[in-house]
Structure 1
C-alpha cells in the first residue's frame, strides 16, 4: 500500500515568506540608507556566510547571477561589501562585508531583535515555546529533505 502525501500549499510558503520579509524589513529605515530589500537581504546573507561565492548568494536568494552581480556592485560602490577572486578558481568570486556593511548589519539586526523580543514579551510562555518549536521543526524538516538548502 503506497503512502499518500498531501500537496504543499504554496500560499502557506508565500505567507511565511511575506511575514519573514516584514519582520526583517519593517521599520528599519531602508529608505534613509537608499537600500532595497534585496540589498538588505544580501547583507544579511553575506554577514552569516562571509566569503560565499556570487553563485551561492544567487542560489540562496533564488535569483540570477546577473541580478546579484548588479546589486552587489551597488553595495560595493556604497562601501558595504567587497569582492575577491578566489585564488584556487579564478571564476569564483567571493563576497565579504566591509566595516560599513558590518556596522549596518549589527545596527539593523539589533533593531529586528528588539522588535521580535517586544512581540515575544506579549506572548504566553506556552505560545512562545510552541512557536519556537514549530519554526525549528519546520527548518529541520525542510533541510532534511533538501527543500531548504543549508547555507
Structure 2
C-alpha cells in the first residue's frame, strides 16, 4: 500500500458535479493498493497516519497528530500511485491491484481509518472520475509505502 498524505485546511471531492466528500482542517489521503497488500499493511498504515505528528503545537513545532487536533480525513483511491514510468512515455499500472482486489482493500482501509480516528472519514467513489480540490497547508505532503515500513 502506498499513500500520499497532504495536510490541508480544506479538501473536497466532486463526482459528476456533486460533492461526495468534504473536510475542513485535516488530511487528504491518496491511497493506492497492490495485490499483495495484507490486513496487517492496512492496519499499520491507518495507525501510522492517525498518529503522524505533522500539525503544529502552540510553539509552532510539528508535534500533534490529526487526532490531537480533531482534524478530519478524506480518503481517495488512486491507482496511479503505482505508475511505472521506466519505459517509454506512457505509464504502466501493472503493479496496481485490479478493482476486484483493490476495492475491498480500499473499503477496509477506510473502516480502519475510522476506527483509528474514532469518527467517520470522508471518501471519494472508487473508480469514478473525481475532481479533487484542496488547499495544502504548509505545504506538507508526505508519502508512505508499507513496503518500506521497517
Structure with higher RCO (Cα < 8 A, 6+ apart): 2
What TM-score does the superposition give when structure 1 sets the normalisation length?
Answer: 0.26
Higher strand share: 2
Give the TM-score normalised by the residue count of structure 2.
0.26
Q: Which has the larger radius of gyration?
A: 1
Going by fraction, where is helix more abundant, 1 or 2?
1
